[in-house]
Amino acid sequence: MFLSHQPSLPSFTHTHARFARRYFDNQPVLDLIEKKRPPGILALLDEESVMPRATDDTFAQKCQRNIENRHYTPMGNSHFQIKHYAGDVTYANFGMIEKNKDQLNKNLVEMLQEQVSPRVHGGRRHRVLSASPLR
């Protein structure tokens, strides 16, 4: 009885071949988003976020100049599209630079300004006045 329910080899091979044809290799999409060299979207966003005059438009232009990936489609300076395994997804550039800026430094300074412990200030009691690196 058990053997009568086993799929035959041709049936299994046919099912496997159908699955293999539909399989989407997602590695190029991951490289497009995360890779450092050549730079992917996140590397370009990090790079552009530290520029003093960076805007969403300059980020879009940098992506258009640097990204050569068949899964990436620029749509002017306001949007871009990535062809994921699940389909095409459109992303808006609006606010990406601002959202990516690191607020740790500002938050750290605010926290240190509130501290009165001599350990934090190296034995001296004084307020931290700027965001310059601590020495």
- Give residue 89's pLDDT: 94
pTM: 0.62
CATH of 13-100, one of 2.60.40.1190, 1.20.58.530, 3.40.50.300, 1.20.1580.10: 1.20.58.530
CA distances from 22 to 1, 3, 15, 82, 126 (A): 33, 30, 11, 19, 65
Within the chain, all domains assigned CATH 1.20.58.530 are found at 13-100
- Alpha helix ranges (H) inside 23-92: 27-34, 41-49, 56-66
Give the pLDDT band of residue 38 (cuts 50, 70, 90): very high
Q: Is the pLDDT of residue 1 over 60?
A: no
81: buried, middle or exposed (CB in 10 Å: 19+, 13-18, 0-12)? middle
